[in-house]
Chains A and B, each alone.
Chain A
């Protein structure tokens, strides 16, 4: 039982802690799990989250920065005032919990559809696009000399990588070919400035409260690159969850996003943002294909995975809406 190992762990590094209670798995793939639990403390319970790769799953997927880097980035973000949970502890081997870290639990909602529909967030919604612009500006300004080692990726490399992923699926899709062609023709080249890029900044990876963004989660795809990538990805239609006229996560307009970003002292390049939105739409479509392949070849033979394979067509219609829009 994980509570026994967690109790031993917290007693080592959390002064006064006597154990843990209420451990529950929130999500988990084969290689990475998220657990919630409370640290039992004389001053009252402390809400905590465990992110870990269980034992035997040390190797991170090629694109992932790794949990140690993720912990370091979240801590840096927290210190710089970017909404982020405080990292309380990085796991060590003696604890028998695998690799990963424990962070403070931030209360709020991550389920995109609830954030977009529930009354609780009605007041926050119109503010979010601009607020997200400010958060991204802060994130892109994190001090580079303090960052962990991260892969570096520009537009040209990303196009080549996605093309290779797509071809390896042996899945002839004329719309994806058209998108790849468009991306090569519109490749903006190296960006004038290279910054930290979150890599998966979108509705679903943010903790939202009645007051707005409370935390940015899931830093596992962080890398160095074109900051406009994050602005494009947050606008991908797949993350609007039905609110298709509000490009920024279903919350609001690009204009608000850009205004928030520029008010925080950074410049937006709208053409690059559009490029990354097209790239992001294709990226999610190819990821759906990857899900199909993993479903077919195992080990994850789940219905959910199978059905994600059937969501690639959503990205095809979104690519057509971007690249070959029809008249009204």
Chain B
């Protein structure tokens, strides 16, 4: 077991420093690059916070739908193949719900401000 602070706390402290102390000192193209850098650290923080739980839920859904065991990557590969072969489609019970849940979890990490995501978040699934 590693010591603390956790990677989440460490990453967040760097992002906060760059945002609070460095960003006000920089302008032009470097300021743009700094914003990108901060966005990356924020994304990493969100992923470290959410990934374990969302992957576990995704694996659960995939096992139930496909009836096989495997890692989240292996199961995604299996689902992709079945869709490509036409064995699974939107008429398959659970597929649409699974893809929606998985995609919403991805957006929550990648782009939580994306307008389509915010719109869908406001719906009752």
Instruction: Tell me the A residues contacting B by CB distance below 8 Å.
Output: 172-178, 180-181, 237, 240, 242-244, 303-304, 306-307, 310-311, 313-314, 316-318, 320-321, 323-324, 326-328
Bound CA–CA A249/B54 (angstroms): 33
Q: Say yes or no: is B31 at the interface (Cβ < 8 Å to chain A).
A: no
Contacts A243-B115, A310-B43, A324-B90 known; list 5 others, CB within 8 Å.
Answer: A172-B81, A174-B80, A178-B99, A304-B36, A310-B110
Is A178's CB under 8 angstroms from B107's CB? no
Tell me which residues across on chain A come within 8 A of B125, comparing CB atoms: 326
Tell me which residues across on chain B come within 8 A of A318, comparing CB atoms: 116
Is A320's CB under 8 angstroms from B111's CB? no
Of the residues A303, A304, A314, contact of B114 by C-beta under 8 Å = A314
Bound CA–CA A175/B106 (angstroms): 12
The count of A-to-B residue pairs whose CB atoms sit within 8 angstroms is 91
Which residues of chain B from 83 to 117 have any CB-CB distance to chain A below 8 Å in the complex? 83-84, 86, 89-90, 96, 99-100, 102-104, 106-107, 110-111, 114-117
Tell me which residues across on chain B come within 8 A of A177, comparing CB atoms: 79-80, 83-84
Bound CA–CA A244/B118 (angstroms): 11
Q: Say yes or no: is B37 at the interface (Cβ < 8 Å to chain A).
A: yes
Is B80's CB under 8 angstroms from A314's CB? no
Of the residues A242, A317, A328, contact of B123 by C-beta under 8 Å = A328
Is A178's CB under 8 angstroms from B90's CB? yes
Find the A residue at minimum CB distance from B106: A313
Tell me which residues across on chain A come within 8 A of B90, comparing CB atoms: 178, 323-324
Find the B residue at minimum CB distance from A244: B115
**Could you show 14 A-B contacts with beta carbons less than 8 Å apart?**
A172-B77, A172-B79, A174-B83, A177-B79, A240-B115, A311-B111, A314-B117, A316-B103, A318-B116, A320-B100, A321-B116, A323-B90, A324-B99, A326-B120
Q: Considering only CB atoms and an 8 Å cut-off, how many residues of chain B contact the other chain?
A: 35
Give the shortest distance, in Å, between B42 (CB) and chain A (any CB): 11
Is B116's CB under 8 angstroms from A313's CB? no
Is A174's CB under 8 angstroms from B117's CB? no
Bound CA–CA A144/B107 (angstroms): 44
Most buried by B among A172, A180, A320, A327: A172
Bound CA–CA A297/B40 (angstroms): 19
Find the A residue at minimum CB distance from B80: A172
Tell me which residues across on chain B come within 8 A of A328, comparing CB atoms: 123
Q: Say yes or no: is B63 at the interface (Cβ < 8 Å to chain A).
A: no
A303-B40 contact given A181-B89, A237-B116, A328-B123, CB 8 Å threshold? yes
Bound CA–CA A180/B111 (angstroms): 24
Is B119's CB under 8 angstroms from A316's CB? no
Is B123's CB under 8 angstroms from A307's CB? no
Q: Say yes or no: is B45 at the interface (Cβ < 8 Å to chain A).
A: no
Tell me which residues across on chain A come within 8 A of B81, comparing CB atoms: 172
Is B120's CB under 8 angstroms from A180's CB? no
Of the residues A178, A303, A313, A317, contact of B120 by C-beta under 8 Å = A317
Tell me which residues across on chain A come within 8 A of B110, comparing CB atoms: 310-311, 313-314
Bound CA–CA A174/B80 (angstroms): 4
Bound CA–CA A150/B20 (angstroms): 51
Is A244's CB under 8 angstroms from B83's CB? no
A306-B80 contact given A324-B90, A326-B100, CB 8 Å threshold? no
A321-B120 contact given A303-B33, A314-B110, CB 8 Å threshold? yes
Is B76's CB under 8 angstroms from A306's CB? no
Find the A residue at minimum CB distance from B39: A307
